[in-house]
Structure 1
């Protein structure tokens, strides 16, 4: 190992002092912040929020201080459909309702994984993976499908936000504390040959009570009244959340598939993958991805939008992202001014833990050239209307290539070969694989 000597460090001091450009940037960055000092004005003019395919300008939602983007994105795709079909002015489905049932189901999922791994040593990496994060706010498309199919949906007015759904840190902190304690109880009971099923039922009652007291008891039946844009009064009485989904959403979610772009050497294209330990609802369909090249992924997203339907997608939103102005562009900041060059490609960023899916949003438009190729993309975020263009972002096509990892499209847009690959027995990835990241 090579020690950092004082002579070597002095050389670095001297080289820096000789560079007047660095001193100017030092003044700019220390006064204004790194990204403000490096912001590239030209990227604004090159990514104006105008699109040849533009499906909606509905008011955006706001997930606030929670990690529920994957739920918001899915519910937003439903909302676009509901607003149009039922002539509603402004309407949201309850994200808090889906959040409650996700916490409940994730708790059961975690306890089941603990029971099935009770023979592992306490230092085993897979057990440590489970205990490091018993549950969190994030999720995947197939996981939210499992929740909708089992629990339906309700209007936000029926089950509104709470402090714990809008700012979930405390809820998560103490739920994970409960779950780690429960893990010890169940592991020790299982190893002693005790009645694990009865004990797990007792522990789940405690968890249910905790969730109901922090988030509110979710409705099992409710009445819903509304006036449409024609001022026609409508009322539905004594409806279940499942029946409400059937009437207002009425999408066959089994017709939708997750398509990813993971260009790493260990994941051949036109192959399906799943991830060990990844899920929330025991007994639901597995999380499954079809891996395709990026050009194909974009064609599938475009095809669905040209058919009039928005697209749920997952990306690494924090990468070269101008949050305030709503720009996702590779040239948003000019690091070359600091003589810093980022050379990793998409595959190496995945391999070296530099990037993975961190956020889910909705593609609601795309700007196409005369030859049909995409130029830039319209993105509906869930961070409120104070960022971007009233909450909508613009992503350059090159940014999409580098930092988009997943879309959800209807099966009908896949070729027969792609559908067969998706439905084939999936390759099981390790729990910590980047394609198991939760948005």
Structure 2
């Protein structure tokens, strides 16, 4: 997510051009917009938002607020272990994928935002630009020592404490004491097996899992590979049934016009620069082969994760995915949301994570291997 750090910070403070907002076709339960600020933690904000939406759908409550930074902190520990065991030949950065949140909460539990903000020393703004390099430098210094290596985790955790504050062992929530694991089990009713991941690429067989080859997949998460039209259909049907989707995509290509509130795949790329901005432009017909070509040429890359919360349609009849971003409400003309066309989704999607209950039982019976993803 190295590129997106700059994009998030810049666009989060941009003044937005006025645009007409499409009307909702589905308006699913969702928690308020947050701001990842100067961190590469969109993977955590987007997937945490997915979990919050699923909680709201299941329990009809509007007060859940899960700490992203508790999950980020614990994921750093897993990154550190991976980096040490691979002797420094592994990705160590601020980035990650949606399955990392699922894995981390399953292993360490979760806490409410009220119990752990991840800010320390009176700070009101997330900034991990110095923390991540310092953690990696510390691990590199450990690897330079003679074997056997010392217990490096206390020093690693001390750096996390300095930048993020100590994580709570226990805390009170709604008048009851919890620890992270009991909160995840008793309040969130979290079960990692409730979530599945999908992708669509032609260099691996369909209807099988494979480890998606992007740099931030440090934990080697596998996703179930389906044809492109099926990926789109799964996503739309889930949204129509009231579920939401974690979306991993490329947002650095020209069609991502966030300052205008849209993401499009226009046939004429210059159309995206038109003044006034017009979202009703002719868009590309996207084939699996075209999508694969851009991926293998490193044009379509994994550089931002967001949360798809619904479907919308504008006055011309054009449909969009409604996407919740994590750059704050002030970003873009639609209070932090962006409207993504189906062609843009088809070209730029890397992976998605959805609740397994969103999938038809008949589909699951035909694809039993999907239960092993993530």
Q: Pick from 347, 367, 372 the counterpart of residue 292 of structure 2.
A: 347
Deviation at 1:50, TM superposition (A): 1.6
Cα distance in 2 for partners of 1:78, 1:376 equals 22
Could you say which residue in structure 2 is the equivalent of 1:315?
249
Cα deviation digits, residues 21-74 of structure 1 (max 9, x gap): xxxxxxxxxxxxxxxxxxxx9xx66xx432211214642111111111111112
Could you say which residue in structure 2 is the equivalent of 1:419?
367
Deviation at 1:81, TM superposition (A): 4.0
Q: Pick from 123, 144, 152 the counterpart of residue 184 of structure 1.
A: 144
Cα distance in 1 for partners of 2:136, 2:267 equals 38
Cα deviation digits, residues 312-368 of structure 1 (max 9, x gap): 111112222122232111239842799xxx999321111111121211111111147
Cα deviation digits, residues 84-128 of structure 1 (max 9, x gap): 63633x5521111111111122111211122xxxxxxxxxxxx6x
TM score, norm. by length of structure 2: 0.79
Query: What's the RMSD between the two structures over aligned residues?
Result: 3.3
Query: Larger Rg: 1 or 2?
Result: 1
**1:49 and 2:44 aligned:** no
Cα distance in 1 for partners of 2:271, 2:103 equals 46
**1:269 and 2:226 aligned:** no
Cα deviation digits, residues 220-269 of structure 1 (max 9, x gap): 101124xxxxxxxxx22x21111111232213221321100224xx2232
Cα distance in 2 for partners of 1:164, 1:179 equals 28
Please state which structure has a larger fraction of its residues in helix: 1
**1:139 and 2:96 aligned:** yes
Cα distance in 2 for partners of 1:111, 1:101 equals 16
**Contact 1:143 1:280 (8 Å CA) reproduced:** no
**Contact 2:197 2:223 (8 Å CA) reproduced:** yes
**1:256 and 2:221 aligned:** no
Cα deviation digits, residues 265-306 of structure 1 (max 9, x gap): x2232221126898667xxxx611111122101111122222
Q: Pick from 21, 25, 38 the counterpart of residue 65 of structure 1.
A: 38
**Contact 2:30 2:49 (8 Å CA) reproduced:** no
**Contact 1:313 1:406 (8 Å CA) reproduced:** yes
**1:293 and 2:227 aligned:** yes
Any gaps of 5 or more consecutive residues in structure 1?
1-40, 115-126, 190-194, 226-234, 427-439
Q: Pick from 70, 92, 96 the counterpart of residue 69 of structure 2.
A: 96
Cα distance in 1 for partners of 2:272, 2:64 equals 46
Cα distance in 2 for partners of 1:337, 1:302 equals 25
Cα distance in 2 for partners of 1:271, 1:148 equals 25
**Contact 2:262 2:339 (8 Å CA) reproduced:** yes
Any gaps of 5 or more consecutive residues in structure 2?
1-16, 274-283
Cα distance in 1 for partners of 2:54, 2:102 equals 17
Structure 1 segments, 4+ long, off by >3 Å, are 81-84, 275-281, 331-334, 420-424
Secondary structure in structure 2 of the residue aligned to 1:324: helix
Cα distance in 1 for partners of 2:270, 2:260 equals 19
Could you say which residue in structure 1 is the equivalent of 2:116?
159
Cα deviation digits, residues 207-229 of structure 1 (max 9, x gap): 1111112211100101124xxxx
TM score, norm. by length of structure 1: 0.68
**Contact 1:104 1:211 (8 Å CA) reproduced:** no
Structure 2 vs 1, CA of residues 142 and 354 (structure 1 numbering), >3 Å: closer, same or farther? same
Could you say which residue in structure 2 is the equivalent of 1:148?
105
Structure 2 vs 1, CA of residues 275 and 301 (structure 1 numbering), >3 Å: closer, same or farther? closer
Q: How many residues align?
A: 332
Structure 2 vs 1, CA of residues 204 and 392 (structure 1 numbering), >3 Å: closer, same or farther? same
Cα distance in 1 for partners of 2:169, 2:368 equals 39
Q: Pick from 270, 280, 296 the counterpart of residue 335 of structure 1.
A: 270
**1:376 and 2:320 aligned:** yes
**Contact 1:51 1:377 (8 Å CA) reproduced:** no
Structure 2 vs 1, CA of residues 87 and 143 (structure 1 numbering), >3 Å: closer, same or farther? closer
Within 5 A, what are the aligned runs for 1:238-253? Answer: 238-253=177-192
**1:387 and 2:347 aligned:** no
Secondary structure in structure 2 of the residue aligned to 1:99: helix
Could you say which residue in structure 1 is the equivalent of 2:155?
206
**Contact 2:249 2:303 (8 Å CA) reproduced:** yes
**Contact 1:165 1:215 (8 Å CA) reproduced:** no
Within 5 A, what are the aligned runs for 1:99-110? Answer: 99-110=72-83
**1:359 and 2:304 aligned:** yes
Cα distance in 1 for partners of 2:236, 2:78 equals 34
